[in-house]
Amino acid sequence: MARVGGGRLAGMVTAVAKKTEKPLVRLRTRGAGEALLLSEVLAFRRRLMQWYEEHARVLPWRGVSDPYRTWVSEIMLQQTRVAAVIEHYHAFLAKFPTLVSLSLAPEASVLAAWSGLGYYRRARMLHKAAQFIVRELGGVLPGNSIDLKTLPGIGEYTGAAIASISFGESIAVVDGNVERVLLRVTGRPYVSTAAGKKFVHEQAQALVPKKKLSVGVNAAGDHNQAMMELGATVCLPKGPLCGACPVYGLCETKGEHGSAPRTMQRSLPASYLLSLRKRGTVTEVLLSRRSAEVSLMAGMLELPPLPETVVAGREPLLRLRHAITNTNYYVQVFAARGLKDKKMLQAVLAEPEQLEWVRTSRLASHPLTGLARKSLQRLDVMEVRKVRMEGIERALAVEVSPAAFEDGLELDDY
């Protein structure tokens, strides 16, 4: 048997070792709660983007080149489930395809197109901002986060999202999903203090690539979308999918951690009247317009509200649960027992000037509250709009878990 020289043998052993050894995840020189090291920042970016390129959901507002469309999607996504936004995004843009068309539309038309998304102040601010841009800025959306934040309805988060996704600005986007990822990776508990928020923002900013926008490349925008995607689909508030996490090796927590206390939900009853009438071949439904002075859904149309005392002992046409902010409403919809049922008709909690008859065939063009829209559709008074588009199955598949809704719960169309 031929003898192998010592130097040659050592080289062979080294080569075998290189093929079989497992790569080091990271050197554990960072203590829990401390910021990521530079080497970890670079590794985090690389692993995150490799994962995002393979696993990102197909969503209609991704990959668009029109900043107006990005702006609309970001406003819609505030505190609203992705699935609900998918349903409304294309319809809204079909009605208002450009910033100018939105600015010229009546507010009622904008609210009608927004109906079902909830938080209607967003639609009003979007409309006001479009009018301001056309009137004062020549119809061009500002191209940086500082100027974007001067517009109605655009704050830190939305300004950063639009600036990075549409214009490649190297600025971090921090929402509840991103905050949760960073707290778990660094091993810090949730602390609602200025110092805690400052740490999260500084860590988020350190991770954003500094590369400028170029042809086919938007490092900052893609990174921010990847961070939000990771929190929304993998690093879930409860039951995080650590086995699928691309930055698991860098994570101090490796699982759930202490999170912000959730606001307790109240439960209240609510009753409404369904009153229909025929005028020839036309069917009309009685609706009540909310006061322009109320804080929620001002000027929107709803079914006429009824006092609980008048519906006692009556059987409702419909029962459902509806959530608005921190209140669960257990809703019942009643029908009058003919025109002679004056007790119910006279008990409506609305002034006569607030009541109006609306053709059922035109309900979709009116600014209905989310509850009115849901009730009328379930009672077959209003047609249900069907939406089919590529990618919706994948988006919905991720979001069926209640845990996925923790930081993006739609509260006005539940």
- CATH number for the domain spanning 72: value is 1.10.340.30
pLDDT of amino acid 400:
33
72 shares its domain with 152: yes
Does this model's pTM top 0.75? My answer is no
Q: How many CA atoms lie within 13 A of 313 on its CB side?
A: 3
pLDDT of amino acid 346:
85
Q: Which residue type is seen at 180?
A: R
96 shares its domain with 209: yes
- How far, in Å, CA of 324 to CA of 301, rounded? 16
pLDDT of amino acid 265:
79
- How far, in Å, CA of 160 to CA of 223, rounded? 12
User: Residue 55 has which token pair?
Assistant: 């696993």
53 shares its domain with 190: yes
247 shares its domain with 279: no
Residue 221, C-beta contacts closer than 8 angstroms, at least 6 positions apart: 164, 165, 166, 168, 213
pLDDT of amino acid 411:
33
Give domain status of residue 83, yes or no: yes
pLDDT of amino acid 261:
63
> In tens digits, what is the pLDDT along the chain, a chain of 414 residues?
444 444 443 444 344 444 444 444 444 466 667 888 899 999 999 999 999 999 999 999 998 989 999 999 999 998 888 888 998 999 999 999 999 999 999 999 999 999 888 888 899 999 999 999 999 999 999 999 999 999 999 999 999 999 999 999 999 999 999 999 999 999 988 878 888 899 999 999 999 998 766 667 899 999 999 999 999 999 999 999 999 999 999 999 998 876 666 667 788 899 999 999 888 889 999 999 998 888 788 889 999 999 998 888 888 999 998 887 778 889 999 987 666 677 788 888 888 899 999 999 999 889 998 899 899 999 989 887 654 444 444 444 444 333 322 333 333 332
Give domain status of residue 410, yes or no: no
Reduce the DSSP state of residue 70 to 3 states and report it: helix
Q: Which residue among the candidates 21, 34, 74, 351 is catalytic per the annotation?
A: 74
pLDDT of amino acid 259:
61
With residues binned 3-state (H G I as helix, E B as strand, rest as coil), the percentages for the chain, rounded to 5, are 45, 10, 45
Which H or E element spans position 270?
A: strand 266-274
Give domain status of residue 402, yes or no: no
226 shares its domain with 343: no
Give domain status of residue 19, yes or no: no
pLDDT of amino acid 84:
86
Reduce the DSSP state of residue 320 to 3 states and report it: strand
210 shares its domain with 163: yes
297 shares its domain with 224: no
pLDDT of amino acid 116:
83
- How far, in Å, CA of 243 to CA of 254, rounded? 10
91 shares its domain with 147: yes
Which H or E element spans position 323?
A: strand 318-324
- How far, in Å, CA of 392 to CA of 57, rounded? 9
- How far, in Å, CA of 224 to CA of 163, rounded? 11
Handedness of CA 203, 206, 212, 216 (dihedral sign): negative
pLDDT of amino acid 338:
65
Strand partners, 280: none
pLDDT of amino acid 406:
30
297 shares its domain with 252: no
Indicate the residue among 214, 239, 261 that finishes a domain.
261
User: Could you tell me the CA-to-CA distances from 249 to 25, 35, 47, 55, 385 in Å, in that order?
Assistant: 5, 15, 10, 18, 45
Backbone angles phi, psi at 259, to 5 degrees: -125, 175
Indicate the residue among 216, 235, 261 that finishes a domain.
261
First-to-last alpha carbon distance for the chain, in angstroms, is: 78
- How far, in Å, CA of 345 to CA of 306, rounded? 9
58 shares its domain with 138: yes
Task: Give me the domain span that covers residue 322.
Answer: 266-378
Please give the torsion angle defined by the CA atoms of residues 206, 208, 214 and 215, in that order, rounded to the nearest 10 degrees: 160
pLDDT of amino acid 312:
85
User: Residue 382 has which token pair?
Assistant: 């209003």
251 shares its domain with 359: no
User: Could you tell me the CA-to-CA distances from 195 to 5, 160, 199, 301, 352 in Å, in that order?
Assistant: 62, 20, 6, 44, 53
pLDDT of amino acid 25:
46
Active site residue 353: no
Handedness of CA 369, 391, 170, 193 (dihedral sign): positive
Select from 134, 125, 74, 144 the least CA-distant residue to 99.
134
Q: How far is CA 257 from the centre of its chain?
A: 23
In total, how many domains does the chain have?
2
